[in-house]
Structure formats: structure tokens, C-alpha cells
Amino acid sequence: MRVSIESSWKTVLKGEFEKPHFKQLVLHLKTEKEQGKTIYPLGKFIFNAFDSTPFEKVKLVILGQDPYHGPGQAHGLSFSVPSGMATPPSLQNIFKELQHDIGMPLPETGDLSAWARQGVFLLNASLTVRAAEPMSHAQIGWALFTDAVIKVLSEKRKHLVFLLWGKFAKEKSHLIDSTKHKILTAAHPSPLSAHNGFFGCRHFSTANQYLVQNGIDPIDWKL
């Protein structure tokens, strides 16, 4: 796998791509492909979150676990699907909370690229997955890389908002300096847990209030 990533990220992550665990990760992906395994997303989309939101443009981070594992769903942005794809259940619940929180009409698309272009960094902890096998790449080294990404955002930026939904995401809070950034936690938007604290969290309006208070343009959540 040739690492092609937006230049500002390549600068701040200098050295990460040379570490043994990342080289091993690349070898693992190459081996699986040689074995005929289908991996999502397509190679050109693996670093889509980085390419869509340069380092200095990040205002807010939404952390997911791993890419969608169905055909055509994953395109490198957490919770997002390409235009024309059916909106997955967790994303439907995100839209319902947006409607409740800020009165946003339910979108006709599940493509969150417009958020990414405004500074919403849609990061998955694992950037790849085997087809039809959720979390299949959770232990191959991606977490070491994406933890480093969260750390560098915490260290080198200020006044970011981190939306951590569900137990997995909340466990990343120790990587973030809460004296410099706003951390908002809630249940995961999955249908299995959304009623346990995701619905009613009002994270979207709260995030924008924090950004405005710190002189940063708010996110236009409408799609």
C-alpha cells in the first residue's frame, strides 16, 4: 500500500509511517489482498478523512470504530456513506439528534463530505476492514497509528471539540488534553444504545457554542 496523504498531515505525522507497526500493517493488508480478500474502503479512500480535512483546518473530531463492511458503503469518513447509498442506522440516529437539537431537516444523503470540508475530522480508529467482517482489522496496528493522530491534534492544536460516542470512543479521552479542548461524551448512536444517552445529548449545538466562544466559525450541519 502506497501511503498517499494530504501534505499537512504528512508533515505532522512524520515518522509514523516509518515505524515497525505501520510497516507491518501495510504488509498485512498486502498479504490479505494477495489472498483474494476484499478490503474496504478502496485504497484511494483509506486516508479520505485526512485528505478532506487538512491538519490546520480541523475544528471538531468525530471518532468511529471501523469502516462499514458492506459493498460500496465505506469511503474513509467515519459514519458517512457515499451519495446514493442507503443511510445506515447509526447515521439515521445522528440525523434524528441533529433534527431535535438544531431543527435540521433529515438529509436525503448520508454523505458527510460537506462536514469534512468545514473542519469536521471524521476519523475511524481502524481505517480498513475485511468485507462482511466488522472489526476484522482492529488488531493489525491501526489503533497505534490513529492514537498518534489524536495525540498530535491534542498537542499541536487548541480549542478543538472531540465527540466521543460509546464506550470505545470514550476510552480515547486519555489521549486528549481537556484543558485545551472540549470533550463531549455520550452513548453510541447505534439503535442498540442511542436511547441510553445519545438522543438528547445536544452535542451539535454545544460544539458550535464552544467554537464561537473561542472565535472559531461554527459548523453548518445542514447537508
Active-site positions? 66
Assess contact for 217 and 211: CB atoms under 8 A: yes
DSSP code string of 149-176: HHHHHHHH--S-EEEEEHHHHHTTGGGS
Q: Give CA–CA dist 45/64, Å, rounded.
A: 16
C-alpha cell at 176: 486528549
Q: Give CA–CA dist 183/163, Å, rounded.
A: 6
* CA distances (Å), origin 18, targets 4, 41, 113, 139: 14, 23, 29, 19
Nearest in space to 3 (alpha carbons), one of 20, 28, 26, 21: 26
Q: Give CA–CA dist 190/32, Å, rounded.
A: 29
C-alpha cell at 129: 476492514
Q: Is 56 exposed, middle or buried (0-12, 13-18, 19+ CB in 10 A)?
A: exposed
DSSP structural state of residue 124: E
